[in-house]
Amino acid sequence: MRKFKKVLLPLALLLVTALIATGCSKAGSNDLMAEVKAAEWPESADTMSQEFNRSVSKFSWEIFENSIGEKGNVLVSPTSVYLALSMTLNGAQEDTLEGMKDALKLENMTIQDFNESCRNWILRLRQHTDRTKLFVANSIWFREGYGISEDFLQNNADYFDAGARSLDFNDTDSVKVINDWVKEHTMETIDSIVDEIHRDTIMYLINAVYFKSDWDEKFLSDDTIEQNFNSPEGIVVVDFLNRTGEISYLARESFEGVVLPYENNRYGYFAFMPNNQTDLRDFVRGMDSMDLSQMIDSVEKKAVRLSMPKFEMAYENSLVDELSIMGMETAFSGNADFSNMNASGISELFINDVRHKTFCKVNEEGTEAAAVTSVEMRLTSAPSEEIQITFDRPFLFGIWDNNTDTPLFIGLMENPK
């Protein structure tokens, strides 16, 4: 089921994510990585393979396209979702593993090659300058006392720089500990990802992202003026950023748009607008990942008078439906096999939810954006210590005499009214 929280405007597709986890002390926190020595990472990343790039590109567009729904603002960070699921994939087996590989668009890659590609990608994402900040983080949180596979922890340490901690999930402070980590690693732009911890929840695999960069050429605040924006609900008046000059621009029969570079030209903000005869969602559904890439590659410097909304938005979505469509149905069912997460190789976990939150602010200075993705693992069966019974149909009843081992009364109840 999808759920949305929105505070303002347009489509954005943010591709940024995953780094290093820090510790927390409350609620019985225990650093499970204390005995795990992560492999040393290379100083620079190898060139990313075409196959891995194709996987990321296809996944990115498909998770976005499946998230757009019928109305409202949308903002997803495919990279955040991809890396959170990639950590989880290292605990999967059999059909569950194959379904996750289908969803992540992995065709001819071994798990080893895939993990190394993720590590190289993270290394490339880490590069930033004084005016472009990119902080990414991975963490794993376990219920205290659960038997975790050391190989699972080792792989996530080696390839995802993920820290792992056990918490007393029965302690309400655990929610705050996890959310404080999220808040810290998104520079307080996203303050939570966990509302409460269910009694069957065993683990959270969480990815956090924070991105902030100045425009290569800033907008002047004096040029910001109120203008009309034609929303599906009617005209709304908002502040528009304005600039005139050479801008990377693309126009085709069905759309036009721009790409604005940030200060180091590594990242760019893109905006493409269909013509008046084309519905935005129909426009998106008629595209694929290659179309978007080609559109961005095809822009040319033109003399442009640009006017675009200044906005701030927040978005939230459960991605269970979207990822099920993409091939991960088994991972969300009682037939899931995540036995590689368990020290004894027991298959008893399934993915209950993949929760995704994003934030984006576009103003005169540049863009600030953040994303968090949480994969919640639960037990496939309820704990044995609690039994529930409801007498909501006819039953036998009576009063027993323990001294004589005979019933004082005995009867059938068919209608208590």
Tokens matching residue 290 = 């290659």
Global pTM value: 0.85
Q: How far is CA 180 from the centre of its chain?
A: 17
Q: pLDDT tens digits, residue range 210-219?
A: 888 899 999 9
In contact, 268 and 296? CB cutoff 8 Å: yes
What's the Cα-to-Cα distance from 229 to each of 9, 310, 354, rounded to whole Å? 10, 11, 33
Range 12-214+312-379 classified under CATH 3.30.497.10:
yes
| Closest listed residue to residue 75, CA positions, set 367, 400, 330, 343 | 367
Say if 12-214+312-379 and 221-310 have the same CATH topology. no
pLDDT tier for residue 14 given thresholds of 50, 70 and 90: very low
User: Under CATH, what is the fold of the domain 221-310?
Assistant: Alpha-1-antitrypsin; domain 1 (2.30.39)
Residue 358 has pLDDT above 90, yes or no: yes
Cβ count within 10 A of residue 57: 18
Residue 59 has pLDDT above 60, yes or no: yes
Domain ranges for the chain, please list them.
12-214+312-379, 221-310
132-143 and 163-167 strand pairing: parallel
pLDDT at 35 over 80: no
Taking CB atoms within 8 Å and a gap of at least 24, the contacts of 193-199 are 193/355, 193/357, 193/372, 193/374, 194/374, 197/169, 198/352, 198/378, 199/170, 199/383
Question: With 90 as the cut, is the pLDDT of residue 321 above it?
Answer: yes
| Radius of gyration from C-alpha coordinates of the chain | 25
Whether 68 and 283 have beta carbons less than 8 Å apart is answered as no
Question: What gap in Å lies between CA 173 and CA 32, rounded to an integer?
Answer: 19
pLDDT tens for each residue of 363-395: 999 999 999 999 999 998 654 455 666 666 775
Pairwise CA distance, residues 68 & 61, whole Å: 11
For the residues 161-184, what does the mean pLDDT come to? 95
What mean pLDDT, rounded, does the chain reach? 85
pLDDT reading at 127 higher than 60: yes
